[in-house]
Amino acid sequence: MDHQVRSKMNTQIYEEACAWFSECRAGDLDDAGRREFDRWLRKSPEHLSSYLEIAAIWNDGPSLDPGVSGPRTS
């Protein structure tokens, strides 16, 4: 497959993975939504591994230092 095409396809999968991750965090998925998510995950190994990568980034979150910038809201 052409490198550019593959890279564009990957970008789309990652965008979808991030959107699904955000949906799951929001807790907005009903039964139909969960089934759709499940189908999406099983589309290809790339779909599943992209989601795992996003989950791994999420796992690293607590190790990051938010620093002094950004709105402190509390």
Partner 1 sequence: MPAQDAQALIEGLVASHGDQLRRFLLARVRNIADVPDITQEVYLRLLRVPNVESIRSPEAYLFTVAQHVLQQHTLEIAALPSAELEKVLHTQASAAHSDPALEVVAAQCLDRLQETLEKLSPKTRAVFMLSRRDGLSFDEIAVRLGCSRPMVKKYLMKALLQFRQRLEAAE
By CB under 8 A, name the binding residues for partner 1.
14-15, 18-19, 21-27, 34-35, 38, 41-42, 45, 48-49, 51-67, 69-71, 73
Residue 51: CB partners within 8 Å, gap ≥ 6?
17, 20, 21, 41
Planar angle of CA 48, 54, 11, nearest 5 degrees: 75
State which residue, 1 or 67, has the beta carbon closest to partner 1.
67
Residue 2 Cβ, how far from partner 1 at the closest point, in Å?
18
State which residue, 9 or 53, has the beta carbon closest to partner 1.
53
Whats the size of the chain, residue-wise? Answer: 74
